[in-house]
Amino acid sequence: MEYMIGVDIGTTSTKSVLYDMKGKVIAHADSGYQLYQDIPDMAEEDPEDIFDAVIEVLGQVMRKGKVQEGELKGVSFSSAMHSLILMDKDDQPLTRAITWADNRAAKYSEELKENGVGAEIYAKTGTPIHPMAPLSKILWIKNEKPELFEQTKKFIDLKTYVFFKLFGTYKMEYSIASATGMFNIFKLKWEKQALDLLGITEEQLPELVEPTDNIKGINSKYGKILGITKEVPFVFGASDGVLSNLGVNAIDPGVVAVTIGTSGAVRVVVDKPVVDPNGKLFCYALTKDKWVVGGPVNNGGIVFRWVKDQLFAPEKITAEQMQVSTYDILTQIAEKIPAGSDGLLFHPYLGGERAPIWDAYARGSFFGLTRNHTRAHMVRAALEGIVYNLYIVMLTIEGIAGKPKSIQATGGFARSALWRQMLADIFEQDVTIPESFESSCLGAAVLGMYSLGYIDDLSAVKDMVGVTDVHKPNKDNFQVYRELLPIWIRLSRVLEPEYKSIAEFQKKHMK
Ligand code: ADP
């Protein structure tokens, strides 16, 4: 047999899947670790925990799959974007890995936005100016932790760290690089303006390689533990977001990947890098000639969880006693309310928002309440509000990447038929739910197979991804949503100037 392993280094766990060359899952493993949140806005991970998890999950799938010498043809990697580790002159980490979720650089990304430098850099890097990006993080460290900044030999990310431990060199592929805010996506080089701003040199960043490049010669110590010989190529791979597009078969023009998990995202593949004139979308590399344009949203399923916990606590207790999902009960409740929730609108910005408004102060709201509205209306309005918000992201993408043709949708939301249909109705598109088991691992494995010549084209993925459900837009519902959407959008603009005032009040008074 011939096998390929896809590894996905995520924020809370690392997963690994062993595939045969047809994309069939042979074995899988996952290993979690702690996210350190010792102080407000901090979100760090211990790089050593991550490395141990990578070794653990690789070893597990090798054992579970009873892989014999010569059968493993490659290992290919996906990882979360935007992480930053500072390495000292002895190649030891000076910091933990500061993850995308860490907000301590907020002051510096605000400054970059206000002085206009951010817009200039975004136009070349395609990474929205935000505390998530290593660009802002390094600026923060330079200003607030100068002793660390001075000692730094290399600024790297988690995947580069894992490859460094396995192969002893600092290499970063274009995909992760394109999410640092320091990589020129048009020239495929580190961007001088960004480096000058930070006061760092190219030598302080990893060497750039293509996502399809690979490296051989695994460190004997780990090779022995894993049963992986020095001949096995390790493909650098790409980031989890773009590989998830590949892993759900959303790589053809106009095929949009919509994810609603805890957070959410809308992403589409284009054949060359593009940036948004308003700086609200990202453009990250999948390969040199496939780029993913999209927007990440904070407020996905986490908002439904809030509705469940805060508005339906009694139902939650009953559901738990009956051992059924409270989400399923809430879906049944929402189903009884007509599309449009009888004119109740909800802006889902409970946790500030990234795309489409990029406003950390944004807050949620119900609008249009009457005495006839019930909690059932509130559930439905919340689900609709989450999808309206994603639809606005889609409209922005449409402006630079063309009209959508269909949607491949994934995430926890897909367990609700009502919510899936809502997506089809609000987007007025056919929605397909792919059978997506660890889509970023599959994406990594497919990229690996392609780069090593086991498949001719990335589109081979379509035969590896099954379909669980398909939804067609319902005309009547669609008409209702078309009436409400302009109100929802106008209302966003009306509310926007007040977000900061209420957020500041909350900061001052809420315990
Ligand atoms: P993550 O993004 O953290 O990997 P998931 O993709 O599993 O998580 O998504 C979790 C979200 O999925 C929950 O917050 C909830 O909103 C939603 N969800 C979970 N179960 C259901 C369900 N049965 N019906 C509708 N939504 C659900």
Select from 291, 183, 225 the least CA-distant residue to 55.
Answer: 225
280 within a domain of the structure (yes/no): no
Of 216, 248, 280, which closes a domain? 248
- The verdict on the CB of residue 264 being under 6 Å from ligand 1 is no
Residue found by looking up tokens 């059978």 in the block = 435
Looking at the structure of the chain, the number of domains it has is 2
Same domain, 109 and 230: yes
What is the pLDDT at residue 511?
74
Residues 40 and 189 in one domain: yes
Residue that is last in its domain, among 183, 217, 248: 248
272 is a domain residue? no
| Alpha-carbon gap, residue 511 to 90, rounded angstroms | 44
Q: Which of ligand 1's atoms lies nearest the C-alpha of 411?
A: 6
**Residue 199 sits in the same domain as residue 320:** no
CB of 348 shorter than 6 A to ligand 1: no
- pTM confidence score: 0.94
Mutate-to-test residue for ligand 1 from 248, 303, 304, highest number of ligand atoms within 8 A of CB: 304
Are 242 and 316 contained in the same domain?
no
Q: Is the beta carbon of 331 within 6 A of some atom in ligand 1?
A: yes
pLDDT for residue 94: 98
- Assess whether 50 and 139 both reside in one domain: yes
327 domain residue, yes or no: yes
307 and 226 inside one domain? no
Alpha-carbon separation of residue 57 from 68, 91, 226, 469, 470 (angstroms): 17, 25, 10, 31, 33
Alpha carbon dihedral 149, 45, 174, 132, in 10-degree steps, equals: -70
Whether residue 343 is found in the same domain as residue 237: no
What pairing do the DSSP bridges indicate for beta strands 264-270 and 290-297?
antiparallel
Same domain, 237 and 306: no
Whether 447 is in a domain gets the answer: no
Query: What pLDDT sits at residue 436?
Result: 77
For the chain, 511 residues long, give each residue's pLDDT as a single digit of tens. Answer: 999 999 999 988 999 999 999 999 999 999 999 999 999 899 999 999 999 999 999 999 999 999 999 999 999 999 999 999 999 999 999 999 999 999 999 999 999 999 999 999 999 999 999 999 999 999 999 999 999 999 999 999 999 999 999 999 999 999 999 999 999 999 999 999 999 999 999 999 999 999 999 999 999 999 999 999 999 999 999 999 999 999 999 999 999 999 999 899 999 999 999 999 999 999 999 999 999 999 999 999 999 999 999 999 999 999 999 999 999 999 999 999 999 999 999 999 998 999 999 998 999 999 999 999 999 999 999 999 999 999 999 999 999 999 999 999 999 999 999 999 999 999 999 999 999 789 999 999 999 999 999 999 999 999 999 999 999 999 999 999 999 999 999 999 999 999 999 999 998 998 7
Find the 326 Cα to ligand 1 centroid distance in Å. 11
Ligand 1 nearest atom to the CA of residue 302, by list position = 14
Cβ(411) – ligand 1 distance below 6 Å: yes
In one letter, which amino acid is 81?
Answer: M
Q: Which atom of ligand 1 lies nearest, measured to the CA of 419?
A: 25
The answer on 239 and 150 residing in a single domain is: yes
Amino acid 164: pLDDT: 98
Range of the domain at 72: 3-248
Query: Are 34 and 120 found together in one domain?
Result: yes
- Residue nearest ligand 1's atom 12 by CA: 412
For residue 448, being part of any structural domain is answered with: no
CB of 262 within 6 A of ligand 1: the answer is yes
CATH number of 97's domain: 3.30.420.40
Q: Is 454 contained in some domain?
A: no
Minimal-distance CA residue to ligand 1 atom 2 = 261
Helices marked H in 217-341: 220-226, 240-247, 301-306, 313-322, 326-335
Residue 126 lies in a domain: yes
Classify residue 486: in a domain, yes or no: yes
Confidence at residue 40, expressed as pLDDT on a 0 to 100 scale: 87
Based on the domain organization, do 311 and 243 belong to the same domain? no
Query: What's residue 281's pLDDT?
Result: 97
C-alpha of residue 9 to centroid of ligand 1, in Å? 20
468 burial level (CB within 10 Å; 0-12, 13-18, 19+): exposed
- Ligand 1, residues 13, 298, 327, 335: which to mutate, most atoms within 8 A of Cβ? 327
Q: Are residues 318 and 210 in the same domain?
A: no
> For residues 193 and 314, what is the distance between their CA atoms, to the nearest angstrom?
56
The residue among 226, 248, 270 that closes a domain is: 248
Q: How far is CA 367 from CA 38, 320, 370, in A?
A: 36, 31, 9
